[in-house]
Structure 1
Amino acid sequence: MQKLFFEIQIDAPPEKVWDVLWSDMTYRQWTTAFTEGSFYQGTFEEGNIVKFLDPNNDGMFSRVEKSIPNKEIKFLHLGEIYGGVEKEQNWGDATEAYFLQETETGTLLKIEINTPDEFKSFFEEKFPNALGIVKNLSENQL
């Protein structure tokens, strides 16, 4: 397992950044940094299963481990979805957590990812671009 950390200062309040991260329309925009056409199915209450999908309905499914709106959300990644079939994976503690910390000028968005080794370079390449899109949307969208 690899532990990765990303952060970005955003000149917008935490409520706005949270909305950009998890509202359907803006989620679809910032996640183009990973896969064009990404979307999710489910809701972000603790204990719920959320499916993160591409336009072919392939992707992964995760359980919401913690959810404090406008402050923190943590997912435990459970497995992959291919051809509509969910297959659990033995990823152990593969987690993805988002922390929104209010600052004098807006929000410090921090992401902590615990990932299997084979996904490390993917996240290192894609996450900085994704965060740049989140920042742009948060600061420039009404």
Structure 2
Amino acid sequence: MEKLHFDIQINAEAIKVWSVLWDDFSFRQWTSAFTEGSFYQGNLEEGSIIKFLDGKNNGMYSKITKLIPNQEITLLHLGEIYEGVETPRDWGEATEKYILTEDENITHLQVEIATSEEFKSFFEEKFPNALSNVKHLSENQL
């Protein structure tokens, strides 16, 4: 399992950054860095399953294993979705963790990813642009 770390400083309160990360409209905007038309289905509740999809109903599904609103969310990736059909995958402890810490209205957003070798280059290429999108939206949206 490969461990990847990404982080960015954002001139906005953590509650604003969290909103950009998980509100439907802004989620679609910042995740376009990965795949145009990205969205998610499900509830942000610990223990629930979230589906991350593109416009063709392809993507993956994950379980929220930890959730502290405005501070941290950890996702355990369980499988792929192709044309709306879920296929479990044995990815082991493939996780994605978002950690927000705030100091005087500046939020430090850290993303920790445990992934297989097959997805490493994808994340390394796409995540910096995605975090740049989060920063821009957090600092410029009303």
Measured against the shorter chain, the TM-score band is: over 0.9
After TM superposition, the structure 1 stretch with the greater mean CA deviation from structure 2, 97-106 or 44-53, is: 97-106
% identical aligned pairs: 65
Runs of 4+ in structure 1 deviating by more than 6 angstroms, as ranges, are none
Structure 1 residue 61: Cα displacement: 0.3
**What is aligned with 1:127?**
127
Normalised to the residue count of structure 2, the TM-score between the two structures is: 0.99
User: What 5-or-longer segments of structure 1 have no aligned partner?
Assistant: none
User: What 5-or-longer segments of structure 2 have no aligned partner?
Assistant: none
Are 1:136 and 2:132 matched, yes or no? no
**What is aligned with 1:10?**
10
**What is aligned with 2:72?**
72
Aligned-partner Cα distance in 2 for 1:12–1:108 = 9
The alignment of Structure 1 onto Structure 2 pairs a total of residues equal to: 142
Q: Deviations over 1:36-94 (max 9, x none)?
A: 00000001100000000000001000000001000000000000001211000000000
Q: CA RMSD in A?
A: 0.6
Structure 1 residue 104: Cα displacement: 2.8
Aligned-partner Cα distance in 1 for 2:72–2:83 = 31
Structure 1 residue 11: Cα displacement: 0.2
Q: Secondary structure at the match of 1:133?
A: helix
Q: How does 1:44-83 map to 2 (within 5 A)?
A: 44-83=44-83
Q: Secondary structure at the match of 1:47?
A: coil
Aligned-partner Cα distance in 2 for 1:103–1:23 = 23
Structure 1 residue 105: Cα displacement: 4.5
Q: Deviations over 1:19-45 (max 9, x none)?
A: 000000000000000000000000110
Aligned-partner Cα distance in 2 for 1:11–1:58 = 34
**What is aligned with 1:84?**
84
Aligned-partner Cα distance in 2 for 1:85–1:40 = 15
